[in-house]
Structure formats: C-alpha cells, structure tokens
Amino acid sequence: MKRIPNEEDCDFCPAFPAKECLSDNVVPLSQFKPGEKGVVFQACGDSELRLRLMEMGFVRGSEVKVVKHAPLKDPLEFVIRGYHVSLRKEEAAHILMEKPHGRFDEVT
Amino acid sequence: MAKRLNIALAGNPNSGKTTLFNAITGARQHTGNWPGVTVEKKEGVVQFNGHQMNLVDLPGTYSLTAYSLEERLVRQFIVEDRPDVVVNVVDAANIDRNLYLTTQLLEMGIRVIIALNMTDVAEKQGVMINARKLSRLLGVPVMPTNGKKGAGIDDLLGGALELAQTDPPSDENRPIRYAKDVERECAAIESEIHLLPEAYQGLPKRWIAVKLLENDEEITKGVQGQPRSESLLGQVRESRHRLRDRFGDKPEFILTNARYSFISKIIEQSVRRTMDDRATVSESIDKVLTHRLFGPVILMTALYLVYLFTFQGSEPLVNAVERGFSRIGDLAAAVIPPGPLQSLVVSGVIDGVGGVLGFTPLIAFMFLAITFLEDTGYMARIAFMLDRILHAFGLHGASMLALMVSGGIAGGCAVPGIMATRTMREPKERLLTILVAPLMNCGAKLPIYALLIGAFFPGNKALMMLALTVISWAMALLAAKVIRWTILSGPDAPFILELPPYRVPTVRGLITNTWDRTWMYMKKAGTVILTISIILWAMMNFPSLPEDEERQFVAREDRITSAFLSDPSVARVFKSQGDIIRFNAAFRQLEDANGQNPEGRKPIFDAVATAIDDASGMADGEGNRVEASLDKVAEAYFAYTDQIMALNGERRSVQLKNTVGGQLGLALETVFRPIGFDWKTCVALVGGFAAKEVVVSTLGTAYSLADVDPEAADSLSERLQKEPGWNPVLAFSMIMFVMLYSPCFCTLVMIKKETGRWQWVVFAMVYTTALAYAAALAVRGIGVLLGAEIS
C-alpha cells in the first residue's frame, strides 16, 4: 500500500506533513477537535518518538478520543486504551489517523 | 530451608507499585540512589514463612526499551542482579498499556508474577478482569492485590516463594508468538549466538535475538567484539532487511505492533467491560481542575498554597531550630574563652550545623507538599497546563514547581527548589531547570533588596519589589532560552505525559516519601555544606590582625576607658574596669529582655544603676538628688560605649580587610570598578557566596558599623545614603548583581548532587556571575544615559 511511509521518510520526516502518506484518508491527530474520536493509522517521526508513541499504545487500530486542550490550547489531552495522556500538538501531528467516513460525524 | 529471596518490583508509573512496596515492607525499608544517578532506589526486607525476602522497588517505566534512564536501570538490574522473581505490578484499571511492560518482561525469560493491583477501582469503572484466565493466557501467576488496603500481599508473597522454587520459564512455553517470518528470523539469529558476553550469560538466547532484531543499542554493543560476532551481526542485518521488505517497516515497530495485538487478544478473552465511555469521578474532577478559566486560577492558588505551606508552615520549626542553635552557641561561648577557638566553634561549626539543619524543616515541608501533589495526580495537570508557556523557553511544564519554590514568589529558596526537580523525568529539561532556578528571588536576597530600596527608593517599595519579581522571572526564562539554544541544544524530549486518575494519597506513602527525601538531603548535602561553611568562615576571619595593629587598638581602647574612669562625676557608679564589665553585663541582660532601642537605653541604665546602688548600700534616701546625678553618669556612660563601639567597628573593618575574603574583595575592586563597587561591596558579595543573607551583615562590618541585624539594618541604610559614591543607580546595580550572581554554595552543592557533575556547578557559577556583571553594568550605563549623577 502506497500510504505506508517508508522508513527513510519516517526517520527524518523532512517534508512532514506535506507527504503522500497524508493524502485522502489520513489526517494527523493534531487536527482533531475536543470530543472527536478516531482510529490510529500510523505513528510517524524519528525512531525514538515513534517507538515511544507506539509503546504508549498509539499503534494501528487503537481508538483515540480528544478530551480537551490545555487552557493555552497546547498541549492536548487524549484517551487511548482506557487511560489519559497528554501530547503537544507537535507530537500529535506525528500520529496519523484514519479518516472516519463522513469525517467526524459521531463524537461526544 | 531458609533461603534469601531477591524480589524486584517492576511496573508502570502510577500503577501503585510504590504503595504496594510500602504495604509489603512497612518500616523495614530504606531509600538510596541508584549508583551514579539521582533516581531513587528503595529497598526493603520482609520475613515470610521463615524466608527472608529482599525487595527492590524498581523505577516505574512504561517499557524496557532502554531509551530513558529509568528503563536502562530496570533492564540493567534484571540482567545483572538476576532477581529470583520479578513482581510485575499491573494497574487493573489501565490494564492494556500496563501489559506492554509485561510482554517485555515475559520475553526476558525470567520468573514473573503479576500483582493485579487496584481491581476495586477497575470494577468501579466497569472493568472486570478474570484473573485465572489472564494467568493462563500469560503463563504466569496473577495475584489480585490492593496496595492501599494491604490486601492480597500474603498470596502474592506465597506465589513468589512458590515460583522461585520452579525453573525459569522455558522457551517452548512462551506465550507471545510473532508472525511466522519474524519467528523464523529470530531463530536464524539465535542459531548464530554462540558466545555471550558475561553480563548476558544465562539469559535466554531468544531474548538476545529479539533485542538484536530490534536494533537495541545496548545489546548490539554488548555482542560486538565477542568471538564470531561478525557473522552474528551480519545475520541481524540480513534479517532486519528481509523483514523490512516483507512488512514495509523496521522490526522494532513491527514487534511493538505485534505485542499490542497480543495484548488485545488477551484482553478480549479475559477482560469484560461494562459502562463504556461513562465519565469517571476522576474525569469529572478534571473538568473543573483543568477548566479553561478555573484551571489556571486553581493552579495559581495551589502553587501559592504550596509556597505558603513550605515557607510559612515550616517557619516555627525553622525558628525553633535556629533558636536552639543560637542557645547552643551562647552556651559554647560561655564555656570557651573568647578567641579563635570560640569563633571556630560558635561561628564555624555550630552556625554551620545550624545552617544545614535549619533547612531541614523547609525541605521536609516542601517534599510533603510535592509528594501530595504527585500522589493525588495533580502534578501532571500542573505540567499539562503550564507546558505551553515554559516549553516556549525550552523548559517543561513540570519546571514550574521548582521555579516557584526557588523564589518565583519572592522569598523561596533554591536548595529545596533544585530538589523539587526530582519530579521531572526529562533529563535535559530537568538540568535546564536546575541551572536557572537560582536566578529567582530567594528569601536571602530580600534583606539586601529591603536595605537598598529603603535607602534609595523609599517611595516605591511595593512597586520595586514587583519589578524585581518580574525581572528575575524574565532573566530566568531568558537564560533558559539561551542555554537551550547553545550548550543544551538539540531536539526536545518528546512530551508524552500520562494524566493519571486522581487518587487519595495514603498517609504512609506521604510520610515515607517525605522522610526518605529529607533524610537524603541531610545525609548527602549536610556533610558537604558543613565542611564548606567552615572553610568560608575561616576565609572571613583569617588571617587575624597583625599583633602590632591589634596592640594599637587595645591601647586606644585603654585610653578611652581611663579617660572615662578619670571623670570624677562617674565615680559614683564606675570606679574600676571591673565595674564597667559588671555593669555592661547587667545592662545587656536587661536590654535583651526588653528589646533593643535607643530610647529604652536610659530607663535600663537607671534600673541597673539603682540596683547597683542598692546592692552596695549607697542609697542615701534622697532619691531626687541621686536621680539628678545619675543622669550625668548615664550621659557619660553612653558617650563612652558609643566610642567603644565605633572603635570596635573600625577594628572589625580593618580586620575584615586583612582576611582572605577581604583581600579577595580588595582584588575584585579593580574588576568591579566599571560598575562602581568598592572593596567593601566586593567583600560583602564574597561573603554572600556563603549565604546571601550574609551580604548585609558583611557590608555593615566593612562600613565599620557595630553588629548589623539584617532584618532591621536602619543604621546601615542611613550610612549608605550619606556615603559618597552610593546613589540610586549604584544601588540598583547592586540589586541586579545580587539577584543574578553566583548561587550560594549550598545551592551549588545541591546542583552537584542533583546533576552529578562538577562541570555544571562551575557553569552555574560562571554564567550567573557573568550575567550579573552584564546586568549591573547595563544599569549603570542606562543610568548615565538618563543623566544620573554618578560620582
């Protein structure tokens, strides 16, 4: 599948987020709004960030819900696999989400 | 057979691991540091069924990848110390992610028993776990526990004991199996492992193979240089390449994905969830505490309360300790004759020990407050809410607490402030916080501000204090940004912060943790601080005056005394030097009891004189006449004591100039001439290196004043106003310099303890002093530009 970023891209992410893996059905988690839910497609970024995110449960198929912004809009709070975690927008931008059908229809 | 069992507790942060550890070991535990680092290591002993069990509480980690210090320590401990059993504490309410660490522990081929913790919380959230099924699926014993109530501990220890008597799990029974291609490559690597480095001997080859496949830095380094490692590493490269082609990703990510798939499968079979998506109590609390508007207000209130609790809550105890030590000092002064020995014991040793112990209540109170914030889960929210601001300057949301305690609200202290960074896990951000925390306005800088503001900006006291608070914050943040750009450059640590559910902390946990950290301070920092305080005392006292100069002072004193005694009008009360000494002693005693003030001198004099008159039977029954003549004696007596005090002041000033510290101040005068500091200011700044509050009293000594009380330095303030060379511009330069220059040595000792390296101590001294110099010079420059008169 062409949308799986190959490893060179993932290690350096030079053109992120303007990459082909972001086409059509994939959106970065940073664009989600509080209350919205989605399913993880792929965590990107350098090896350390990517592995850390995956170890915290951001693996393909995990459901993520955006709970809220911090009072100053950044970082964000998410619920994943039954626990709450906070990421900066910067990190959330490295988590590619499957675009829900009829985008963001369900929620809260 | 009574065998000693070594048991290690491993688990995620916030899994209740330490609470369980406390419940198991009770008071039979002690805390130290892991060798060479400042991560806390708790060890304890428990007797169970005639067996002695040694328990180690490993640092909380989410995985064993060895990216972070904590992860490296946990892995190193398991590999090198080979505990008989690893108790994996799993938070039942957060079982998915907690099991990730479990999968990694299982792969190490060690004996693992799971303590399924906090099942009651999980059940309230509708998470029902079938422990027996979980145990069967994972192939390890699972014991429900409740650390808070101490439930399930006997079963857990019994299980561990039983497990320790079995063989370690074999490869064939491993519960986690990867895709066929992955397993094939693992086997291929395994067959190439012939000789293992000593540290890894006895560990399953399979685990080594998996780690090599994952490109694990430590293990790869470990096998390098072993016989036939070339063919092994060649196989690893080949396997990694094949898997990448097959799955389109690196093996470490494939395996991480696979572990979570394994977890999902297990959860599906052993966990039942009801009440999906309903907000928990914790989530409802969080709606208020991190609310867009209420959140920051509550946060500021909470930080202010921590501050009040730390500094005002501990005040009575701090005062009691200080009073106790000044009493011991008085006692010692009474026993030991005046001279260098008395000075060493009183000013060097007793004041030094008092200084160390005086901090102790402060540190204990601060750690109590911080432990409370950590254990309730609010600490993570502080970091969450403030990260946006602090991250802009290269710091971390969690830096806030350390900065506040250091003097973010004027009046803190950097010693506990630097200790407060122990709550931070990101090494770079933690170091940065430690380096800039001393720029805050600590309590010891305030008397200097008060003195100079009182003398030169008397109309704007409140405004000046506010300005100084803002300036110190600006300087700290600016310094952080610059340091982050230069010597601490490089990418930010990823910000992945768990927001654990709010919990009620246990009293035992609070007390244990507070005591551990306070004791660590006393043990580690105390000895060093004491030693250095004696050295600094010596610097400010030696060498003493040359004998001939000393003789001159004695001769002058004798002349003043004999002139006083030869005045016939005082003979009524003072006939000899002995009378003066007795009178002085009685006078001081009364003065101490009534409090010192110039107006109070006369009544005290009368009281003492009358008492002496009575005692020597000289009362002649004509009260009025006695009063009248006493007035004259009093006048002469006060003139005499003032003269003596002035002489003593002069002697101390000359003496100070002669000491190592004084000479240093004199030498520094050249360096500080552009700013306008004279040797007196310089020597005060040198003294301030011992503790900033010393600046005021040293300045007083240098200006030949009698003992200056830093809290009420009115005489010094008046003196500086009249002193040529002192003006508002110089005063403000001095304020800026004191705010920013080298941290006091207690703080430097803490920096050494918490960063582990002298290079950071030197850096902290140098950069702050350079910054202070530049700021003070800038103030003078701006002053000149604005047309201030500078002589």
Distances (CA, A) of A102 to A26, A96, A99, A105, B356: 13, 17, 8, 6, 66
Structure letter (DSSP) for residue B437: G
**pLDDT exceeds cutoff 50 at B763:** yes
Whether A82 sits inside 8 A of B93 (CB atoms) is yes
| Residue B719 lies inside a defined structural domain of this protein | no
Per the structure block, which two tokens stand in for A106? Answer: 């369900």
Domain boundary among B409, B443, B477: B443
Q: Phi-psi bin for B235: left (phi > 0), alpha (psi -120 to 50), beta?
A: alpha
pLDDT score for B197:
78
Would you tell me how many other CB atoms lie within 10 Å of the CB of residue B384? 28
**Residue B709 pLDDT greater than 80, yes or no:** no
pLDDT in tens, B606-665: 777 777 766 554 544 444 555 557 777 888 888 888 888 888 888 888 888 888 888 888
Is A90 part of the contact surface with chain B (CB cutoff 8 Å)? yes
Which of B393, B408, B443 is the endpoint of a domain?
Answer: B443
Kindly report the CATH number assigned to the domain that includes residue B241: 1.10.287.1770
Partner A, chain B 476-515, Cβ-Cβ below 8 Å: 491-492, 494-501
Selected residue of B12, B99, B211, B253 to mutate for chain A interface (largest A Cβ count, 10 A): B253
Highest mean pLDDT (candidates A24-33, B8-17, B596-605): B8-17
- How high is the pLDDT of residue B17? 93
> What gap in Å lies between CA B642 and CA B633, rounded to an integer?
14
- DSSP conformation letters of B226-256: STTHHHHHHHHHHHHHHHHHHHSS-HHHHHH
C-alpha–C-alpha distance, residues B343 and B29, integer Å: 41
Contact A90 B495 (CB under 8 A): yes
**B787 touching A (Cβ < 8 Å):** no
Is the same domain home to B234 and B296? no
Asked whether residue B18 carries a pLDDT value surpassing 60, the answer given is yes
What is the full DSSP assignment across B466-500? Answer: HHHHHHHHHHHHHHHHHHHHTTT-SPPPP-EEE-P
Number of domains in chain B: 4
Angle, helices B745-755 vs B526-541, to 10°: value is 150
> How buried is residue B383: exposed, middle or buried, by Cβ count under 10 Å (0-12/13-18/19+)?
buried
In-domain check, residue B681: no
Mean pLDDT across the stretch B550-572?
85
CB contact under 8 A, B249 and A4: yes
β-partners of residue B497 are: A86
- Please state, rounded to an integer, the average pLDDT across all residues of chain B: 86
Report residue A101 as tokens: 């059908």
User: In the structure encoding, which two tokens stand for residue B349, read together?
Assistant: 């040793």
The pLDDT of B472-490, averaged and rounded, is 94
Does one domain contain both B346 and B439?
Answer: yes
CB spacing of B257 vs A77 below 8 angstroms: no
| CB-based contact B494 A81, cutoff 8 Å | no
- Mapped onto helix, strand or coil, the DSSP state of residue B91 is strand
Contact: B94, A7; criterion CB under 8 Å: no
Q: Look up residue B775 and give its two tokens.
A: 């700021």
For residue A5, the model assigns a pLDDT of 44
CA distance linking residue B634 with residue B601, whole number of Å: 9
Clarify whether residues B249 and B287 are in a common domain.
Answer: no
The reply to whether A56 touches chain B by the CB within 8 Å rule is yes
Contact call for A75 and B384, based on CB within 8 A: yes
Residues B97-123: what's their mean pLDDT? 94
Residue B596 CA to residue B518 CA, distance in Å, equals 37
Identify which of B85, B77, B155, B83 has the alpha carbon closest to the alpha carbon of residue B116: B155
Closest CA of chain A from B384, distance in Å: 6
Lowest mean pLDDT among B87-96, B469-478, B494-503, B700-709: B700-709
Residues 379-418 on B with a CB inside 8 Å of A are 380, 383-385, 387-389, 391
CA angle, corner B358, sides to B356 and B363, nearest 5?
A: 90
- A106 Cβ under 8 Å from any chain B Cβ: no
Nearest residue of chain A to residue B98 (CA atoms)? A56
pTM beyond cutoff 0.90 = no
Measured distance CA(B668)–CA(B218) in Å, rounded: 50
Residue at a domain's end among B172, B203, B231: B172
ipTM of the complex as predicted: 0.85
In whole angstroms, give the CA distance from residue B552 to residue B399. Answer: 57
B400: tokens are 């806030």
What is the span of the domain harbouring residue B739? 727-791
Q: How many CB pairs under 8 A join A and B?
A: 120
Read off the pLDDT band of B724 (50, 70, 90): confident
pLDDT exceeds cutoff 70 at B1: no
Is the Cβ of A107 closer than 8 Å to some Cβ of chain B?
no
- Is the CB of residue B278 less than 8 Å away from at least one CB of chain A? no
Q: Bigger pLDDT: B716 or B189?
A: B189
> Do both B297 and B186 map to the same domain?
no
Contact flag B494-A91 (C-beta cutoff 8 Å): yes
- pLDDT given at position A107: 42
Position A46 scores a pLDDT of 81
Shared domain check, B288 and B243: no
CA distances from B16 to B64, B120, B367, B423 (A): 19, 13, 19, 16
> Within 10 A of B642 (CB to CB), how many other CB atoms are there?
11
Domain CATH code at residue B29: 3.40.50.300
pLDDT at B725 over 50: yes
Task: Please tell me whether residues B252 and B365 are part of one structural domain.
Answer: no
Q: How many CB atoms lie within 10 A of CB B188?
A: 16
Query: Is the distance from CB of B235 to CB of B189 less than 8 angstroms?
Result: yes
CATH class of A7-97: mainly beta
Among A42-56, B35-49, B566-580, B750-764, the range with the most confident prediction by mean pLDDT is: B750-764
Please tell me the distance in Å from B497's CA to the nearest CA on chain A: 5
The shortest CB-CB distance from B96 to any of A70, A73, A82 is to A82
What token pair was written down for B305?
Answer: 């309360």
Residue A80 Cα distances to A16, A86, B745, angstroms: 24, 10, 46
Who contacts B702 (Cβ-Cβ below 8 Å, separation ≥6)?
B653, B656, B657, B665, B679, B680, B681, B683, B684
Q: Which of A46, A82, A87 sits opposite B496 (nearest CB)?
A: A87
Question: Contacts of residue B389 in chain A, CB cutoff 8 Å?
Answer: 72
Output B349 or B505, whichever has higher pLDDT.
Answer: B505
Same domain, B306 and B424: yes
Pairs from B640-643 (Cβ < 8 Å, separation ≥ 24) = B640/B560, B640/B561, B640/B564, B641/B584, B643/B560
Query: Smallest Cβ distance to A60: which of B257, B492, B495?
Result: B257
pLDDT band at B393 (very low <50, low <70, confident <90, very high): very high
Q: Which chain B residues are within 8 Å of A82, Cβ to Cβ?
A: 93-97, 127
Give the domain ranges of chain A: 7-97
Omega into B447 within 30° of 0, i.e. cis? no
Predicted local confidence at residue A15, as pLDDT: 34
pLDDT of amino acid B628: 56
Query: pLDDT at position B619, please?
Result: 45
**Chain A within 8 Å of B446 (Cβ-Cβ)?**
no
**pLDDT score recorded for residue A6:** 43
What pLDDT was estimated at residue B348?
A: 76
**Which amino acid, residue B108?**
M
Decide if B310 is inside a domain.
Answer: yes
Q: How many CB atoms lie within 10 A of CB A26?
A: 18
Residue B631 lies in a domain: no
Contact yes or no for B422/B517 (Cβ under 8 A):
yes
Report how far apart the first and last C-alpha atoms of chain A are (Å, whole number).
32
Q: Is the pLDDT of residue B527 over 80?
A: no
